[in-house]
Homo-oligomer: A and B are copies of this chain.
Amino acid sequence: MSGVPDSHLEAEIAEQPEVVGHLVDALQPRVGRLRSWLAGRRVTHIVLAARGSSDNVARYGQYLLAIRARLTVGLATPSVQTRYGVTPRMDGALVVGVSQSGRSPDVVGVLEAARSQGRPTVAITNALDSPLAAAADEVLHLDAGEERSVAATKTYTASLVAMAMLGLALGDEPTGTERDELAALPALMERTLNATRAGSAEALVGAATLVVTGRGLNLATAHEGALKIRELTGMRTEAFSPPDLLHGPVAAVAAGDPVLLVAPAEPSIEDQRQLAPTLRERGARLAVISGDRDLLDTADIAFALPEQPAPWLTPVTAVLPAQLVAAEMARARGLDLDRPVGLRKVTETR
C-alpha cells in the first residue's frame, strides 16, 4: 500500500520495521545478562500475564518460550486473585507481564504477587515509568515511541520481538544464526508491507463476519488479525486453531462465509493445508496469508508473503497484511482509523 499515511494508525504500521530494528539493537547486548540471571533462578515453568493485544503476544510467548526453553508455559488467570482473593504459589515460575501502557492493574497484580514470593519477574512494556515496570526485576522496554492510534500495531510487533529475545535468554545458548535471523527482521517487514497491495482487502469489505485460523506460533497472529479487524471495522471476527475449529465451531461456517488462513512458513502450515479442503467443501471463501504457492493458488483472496523470516519469527511479518487489511476495510467503511467506536487505549480491568 502506498501514499502518505493520513492517520496515526497507518503511520504507525509503516514505522514498525524501524521500531523493531531499534529494539533488536537495544536488546541484543542484554540477552547474555538475562541468561545468567535466569540460570541462577531455577525456573521450572513460565507464567505469562497480559490483556487485549498483549494477550496475543502472550499467546506467541506460550509457544515460543515452550519450544525454546523446553518448559511448560501457562497464561495467568488474574481473577483468581482479584475476584476470589487467592494468590497462587508460584514456586519455580518465571513470571512475565506484557502491557504496552504498563497500567493494566490485573497484570501488575500478578507480577507484584510473584515478586513478593521471590520469583523472577520480567515486564515487556512501552512505558518505563509504569507500575508494571516498577513491579519487574527486568524490564524489556519497547521504546516504540507514543502509540497514538487506539489500535495497537507497532507495540504489538515490538512486543513479539521482545518476547522472542526473552526466548534467547532461556534454553540453549543462542546461535549466530538466531541473532542474524533477528537482525534480518526489519528488511523483511519492510518488504512484506510493500508487497501487500492496496485494494487487496476489497473482497472482504462487504462481509458480515470473518473467521481467522492459525496454529502454534501463529495462533497469536490469527487472534491479533481478528482483533485488529474487529477493533477497526466493528466486523464480527473470530480466531481458532484448525483443530479447535474442527471440534465444533466449523458448524457455523456456511457457504459464502470468508475464512482467513494465516499460513506462513512454519510447521503449523500443515494444519492449514489439511483444513483448506474441508472449508472448500463447506463452500467457504478462502483468504490466505502465506508464501506457499499451492495455498495461494487455492485461495479466493491471496495475500502473498514475500521472503519470510525463520519459522520462530514468522508471526512478526505474517500479522502485517492483517493490519493493512484492517486499516483498508475501516477506510472503505468510512470509519475513523485512530478512534474506533467504543474503544479506549487503556482499559483498567481488575
Q: Which of B243, B244, B347 contacts A246 (CB 8 A)?
A: B347
**Using an 8 Å CB-CB cutoff, how does the interface string of A88-128 with B read, 1 for contact, 0 for none?**
11111100000000000010000000000000000000000
**Using an 8 Å CB-CB cutoff, how does the interface string of A43-77 with B read, 1 for contact, 0 for none?**
01101000111010000001100110111111111
Contacts known (A52-B248, A75-B74, A209-B236); A84 close to B216, Cβ less than 8 A: yes
Q: Which chain B positions have C-beta within 8 A of A10?
A: none
Contacts known (A244-B51, A251-B231); A70 close to B44, Cβ less than 8 A: no
| This chain: copies in complex | 2
Q: How many angstroms from the CA of A45 to the CA of B253 in the assembled complex?
A: 38
A342 on interface, CB distance cutoff 8 Å: yes
A250 on interface, CB distance cutoff 8 Å: yes
Assess whether B72 is in contact with A90, with CB atoms less than 8 Å apart: yes
The interface size of chain A toward B, counting residues with CB under 8 Å, comes to: 70
26 contacts between A and B (CB under 8 A): A44-B44, A44-B89, A45-B90, A47-B72, A47-B74, A53-B248, A62-B77, A66-B80, A67-B84, A70-B86, A71-B89, A72-B90, A72-B93, A74-B74, A79-B241, A79-B268, A84-B216, A209-B236, A230-B252, A231-B248, A236-B238, A236-B252, A246-B349, A248-B343, A251-B341, A253-B342
